[in-house]
Structure 1
């Protein structure tokens, strides 16, 4: 390998390490940072982003790239990622990158306060500032093209909004038809009573280990919005508790473990290189969603989970595993995306995707966003939003500038449907294992066929390699229609 490549990778390793430090600051801000530190943390994040941005566009990186030759697939992939980062960073002015980091760090706290008070007006000026900055960035990156497409590349390289609109257009009518059938049928019993929050956290940590989360390289904390942070040998997750809804804690934990396991299971040889993290947010979401839904909400796994619930909470009113399976998968009205059932979850994402497109292209102003959200929600779900924290303020994403991110949730569900079809074909006795609380074969298959590769392949390529066919929405729709058709008898 060339000397130029060696110099480039040594420089990149330091950049990756600094990026991990920035991520740790974000984790701290969400979990343990004192509220009074918000303004200072914004300055710290802005300063660190200035350093990172300067490194990503350092002229030496361009020189090393031009002089490097790749003799194997790993080197080619590293060069591909670094070239993409260099090209994008070179288009964004230094002061803009720093201001985005500073503003979004501050905006996160302002959003949290506004959400607690159900006061969108208190957050709107900050959101407008974040949107303006990201529009400016998108325009710089697009170089005359579509700004939203340019922002999408940060989360799902190679994907365009037009492609997503075609996929989402195919999903929507069948999801709506399934939802209407299900909501017209008798529903399984729901949970009643209260569930000790300390016991919820204890059970969630146990379940995290069951799904292969290595606690020696991670930890589970509580946050307003569950998330996963870090890669390699320091991958942390958060969850949340609700005394009347233990599923919120349990399935938020399983979801975040899917993200964390992906990062922990990447080949250690890729540590602190561009290959040492998940290749895209769509692929990342495929892991969180298959862990949470196809595995965690399966009839087999909920058979085991029912016993664990009885052990943790005593008699909680659901007498047997079959009834519990229905309760776990109960389709219900609700406002919150992260608490939505599998049938309706993607309808929440499609709402956000469409509104986000309008915000970026300028056809929707922030001042009109709450009304637009509420109107769209009632049209899509059939009932009005009762307060801002159940509507436009429920998600943290726009406050921290993640325009382009929401689409990857549904794309991840599509990928998960494809992976589940391939996984069940490869492991015929998977249900017997899950019913015993043993996820090792399923998670091992995902590790070996997808997770260990990290950023070695492009997003859709890694899915196709694992599944043996190009990703498409068919397997997800077939899975949902079969599963909920059986539960609801429709």
Structure 2
């Protein structure tokens, strides 16, 4: 075997073990007995030690040195690019630190869930201090003298810096705030109200998953506190959640996670269990979940179809026609929860978290002061005082599992989705008519062929530019929001 072949065979096993680790995480969030948490932390730590040893195995360095990059095709070169990046990164991170983080974040997740359920910040803060301390240590090792936050961001959006994201947010904020001010000064649509039984919501959720292309032969849908997607290739699982007074929470959580899941399911199967066999970045991943959820799923055309499904399942509602239903789905309103935020305010939620976690990583904000900093910033940005911690600093799972650097990719995903939607509307002229029939298949096929199938073949910005025919920027997203909500609110 050549050095390249030996490296690929070794990497195949590493990728398979990584999928096993992901499955343990899915199990922990869905069906694991509560009392199993201490043992699961040990299991996750042990598996992370094995994975870290493989990712830093000296043979990987030897194989990389022996391979003639010029002799590789584009696919081989892309595989090597990912492995080189991973090897350079992981060899900076001590094994004991990687193992400690895996154990701690597995344990921390359950502690966060208990604290959130009981609105007990004090129960979670000691563990969060441990997580932040280890993430600072990891960031210092990975940064090698550079910016600590950039070192963590690299895990989720390679070749992007906090300075670039901060500049993008600075350009976005004035238009978002101006739009929000105009909308909040207008008459708000009537919200949907009533009780919607869980069994009925899950029936509609299943229809939505199927409509948006989720292949249930290679996946399943469960419930979780914080909806997520897990896995790649032939086993991609999602979760949703149910609140009987708010069916949109369930429906749009499902569509969002199906966006993630179908991206993974539609990657070229020739890349299965290779470095190209997963979504290329979290920003690109979020572009899929957000365009499914918002530009397609919250469109006037698609909500007219969903209105019929709701009537069939639940009977008469207080919102009595498709246009009123569309307005209820897209109602802009003060709220605490990022995942339930309307499109106008969503990115402001992300900006808050981005600023706070940068300060936490840099050490300019300590964990003991985090709740006060959150509440002060939230009141300034949204004009509402946080009522309980579950609606504030405890609402997101990310920090408990060490995902520092993840939050800005949500807004990058929105930006990328805005670009993709602009290109999609030109490529699929029958889009509105299809969506009105509950059939987004032509749009999904365009996304599959132009983006999803490539997996990790291209760099994140490159895959967006190739699909759209232009370099990504925030302008298409902001133009879409101004047009949609200007029309909806008459502003």
TM bucket, shorter chain: over 0.9
Residue by residue, what CA displacement relative to the aligned partner does 1:391-441 show, whole Å, maximum 9, x if unpaired? 000000000000000000001000000000000011111000010111110
Alpha-carbon shift at residue 373 of structure 1 (Å): 0.1
| Residue 340 of structure 1: aligned partner | 341
SS in 2 for 1:186: coil
| Residue 120 of structure 1: aligned partner | 121
Q: Distance in 2 between matches of 1:197 and 1:341?
A: 23
| Residue 299 of structure 1: aligned partner | 300
| Residue 35 of structure 2: aligned partner | 36
| Residue 3 of structure 1: aligned partner | 2
Q: Distance in 2 between matches of 1:116 and 1:220?
A: 23
Aligned counterparts, 1:17-416, within 5 A: 17-70=16-69, 71-416=72-417
| Residue 453 of structure 2: aligned partner | 452
Runs (4+) of structure 1 exceeding 2 A deviation are none
Q: Distance in 2 between matches of 1:439 and 1:383?
A: 37
Residue by residue, what CA displacement relative to the aligned partner does 1:121-157 show, whole Å, maximum 9, x if unpaired? 1101100100110110000000011110000000000
* Higher mean displacement: 450-459 or 313-322: 313-322
Task: Report the aligned-residue RMSD.
Answer: 0.6
SS in 2 for 1:15: helix
Alpha-carbon shift at residue 282 of structure 1 (Å): 0.3
Aligned counterparts, 1:407-486, within 5 A: 407-486=408-487
SS in 2 for 1:121: helix
Q: Distance in 1 between matches of 2:39 and 2:166?
A: 40
How many residues end up aligned between the 2 structures? 489
Alpha-carbon shift at residue 477 of structure 1 (Å): 0.2
Alpha-carbon shift at residue 192 of structure 1 (Å): 1.1
Q: Distance in 1 between matches of 2:327 and 2:269?
A: 40
Residue by residue, what CA displacement relative to the aligned partner does 1:31-88 show, whole Å, maximum 9, x if unpaired? 0000000000000000000000000000000011111234200000000000010011
Alpha-carbon shift at residue 216 of structure 1 (Å): 0.2
Alpha-carbon shift at residue 317 of structure 1 (Å): 1.8
Provide structure 1 residue ranges, at least 5 long, that are not aligned to the other structure.
none
SS in 2 for 1:256: helix
Residue by residue, what CA displacement relative to the aligned partner does 1:87-144 show, whole Å, maximum 9, x if unpaired? 1110000000000000000000000000011111110110010011011000000001
Q: Distance in 2 between matches of 1:83 and 1:320?
A: 56
Q: Distance in 2 between matches of 1:172 and 1:380?
A: 11
SS in 1 for 2:222: strand
Q: Distance in 2 between matches of 1:443 and 1:69?
A: 38
Alpha-carbon shift at residue 316 of structure 1 (Å): 1.5
Q: Distance in 2 between matches of 1:248 and 1:101?
A: 30
Q: Distance in 1 between matches of 2:207 and 2:323?
A: 22
SS in 1 for 2:173: helix
Provide structure 2 residue ranges, at least 5 long, that are not aligned to the other structure.
none
Q: Distance in 2 between matches of 1:119 and 1:455?
A: 41
Q: Distance in 1 between matches of 2:239 and 2:384?
A: 31
TM value normalised by structure 2: 0.99
SS in 2 for 1:91: coil
Q: Distance in 2 between matches of 1:99 and 1:471?
A: 38
Q: Distance in 1 between matches of 2:196 and 2:89?
A: 48
Alpha-carbon shift at residue 10 of structure 1 (Å): 0.3
| Residue 15 of structure 1: aligned partner | 14
Q: Distance in 1 between matches of 2:79 and 2:134?
A: 29
Q: Distance in 2 between matches of 1:409 and 1:488?
A: 25
Alpha-carbon shift at residue 318 of structure 1 (Å): 1.5
